[in-house]
C-alpha cells in the first residue's frame, strides 16, 4: 500500500483496518492446511491460521524496525538505547516464533518471508534517516504501540473463535510488548 510505505509519521492516528478483514484482503494466496488430530474444528483452525499469519507479518516487521533503531541511533544516550533496541529485537524475534509455531501446530504454513511481510504488514514503514535517540524513541514507541493494539485485538478474535491457546499466546506477547513500550516511552516521560 503506497500510503503505508511513504514514511508518513506524526499523523495522530494512522488509519488501521481491523486485523481480520485487512489480512484477508492482503493474503497473497490461499495456503493449504494440514490434517491434524488437534480437536479444534477445521473452520476455526483456518481462521486462526490466517489471523496469526497477519500478526506474524507485523511481528517480523517490528523485529526489523527494532534492529534498524539499534544500528542507527546516535547521541548521548547511545549505549543505553543501542542495547535496549537490541533487547527488543531479540524479544520480538521470540514472539514471531511463538506466533509462527502456534499456527503450524494448527496445520498451517507460517508465511514469514520478507516478500510476504512487506506486502502484508500493517505497521508504518520505519524511517531511514532518523539519528537522534529521541527520534528513534518516538518511532519505535509508535511501532510498539501499534503492534500492541493489533495483538490485543487478536486476543479478542481468538476468544471469539474459542481458541484459548492462541489467545494465551497473544496475551503473553501483548504483556511483553506493553513492557517494552514502557521501557522505550520512559525515555520521553521524565522530561
Ligand atoms: Fe548489534
| Cα 117 to ligand 1 centroid, rounded to whole Å | 22
CATH number of 39-189: 1.20.1260.10
C-alpha 147/C-alpha 85 separation (Å) is 16
| Cα 1 to ligand 1 centroid, rounded to whole Å | 30
| Cα 10 to ligand 1 centroid, rounded to whole Å | 28
pTM of the model: 0.85
| Cα 135 to ligand 1 centroid, rounded to whole Å | 19
C-alpha 141/C-alpha 139 separation (Å) is 6
Report percent pLDDT > 70 for the chain: 84
Task: Name residue, grid cell 524513541.
Answer: 137
Residue 12 DSSP one-character state: S
Mean of pLDDT values over 68-79: 97
pLDDT for 31 equals 76
pLDDT for 191 equals 64
Closest CA to 158 of 30, 45, 61: 45
**Residues 17, 21, 26, 32, CA torsion sign:** positive
- What is the secondary structure of 142-188 as a DSSP string? HHHHHHHHHHHHHHHHHHHTT-HHHHHHHHHHHHHHHHHHHHHHHHH
Domain boundaries, the chain: 39-189
| Cα 93 to ligand 1 centroid, rounded to whole Å | 14
C-alpha 98/C-alpha 177 separation (Å) is 14
For the stretch 21-57, pLDDT in tens is: 444 444 455 678 999 999 999 999 999 999 999 999 9
Compute how many other C-beta atoms are within 10 angstroms of the C-beta atom of residue 106: 22
Amino acid at each position: 500500500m503506497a500510503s503505508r510505505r511513504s514514511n508518513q509519521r506524526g499523523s495522530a492516528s494512522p488509519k488501521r483496518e481491523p486485523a481480520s478483514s485487512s489480512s484477508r484482503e492482503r493474503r497473497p494466496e490461499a495456503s493449504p492446511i494440514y490434517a491434524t488430530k488437534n480437536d479444534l474444528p477445521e473452520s476455526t483452525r483456518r481462521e486462526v491460521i490466517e489471523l496469526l499469519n497477519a500478526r506474524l507479518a507485523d511481528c517480523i516487521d517490528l523485529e526489523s524496525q527494532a534492529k534498524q533503531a539499534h544500528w542507527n541511533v546516535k547521541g548521548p544516550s547511545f549505549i543505553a538505547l543501542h542495547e535496549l533496541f537490541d533487547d527488543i529485537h531479540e524479544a520480538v524475534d521470540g514472539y514471531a516464533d511463538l506466533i509462527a509455531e502456534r499456527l503450524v501446530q494448527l496445520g498451517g504454513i507460517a508465511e514469514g518471508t520478507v516478500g510476504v511481510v512487506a506486502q502484508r504488514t500493517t505497521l508504518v514503514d520505519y524511517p531511514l534517516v532518523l539519528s537522534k535517540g529521541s527520534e528513534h524513541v518516538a518511532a519505535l514507541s509508535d511501532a510498539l504501540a501499534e503492534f500492541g493494539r493489533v495483538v490485543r485485538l487478536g486476543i479478542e478474535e481468538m476468544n471469539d473463535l474459542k481458541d484459548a491457546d492462541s489467545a494465551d499466546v497473544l496475551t503473553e506477547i501483548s504483556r511483553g510488548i506493553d513492557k517494552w513500550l514502557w521501557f522505550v516511552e520512559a525515555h520521553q516521560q521524565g522530561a
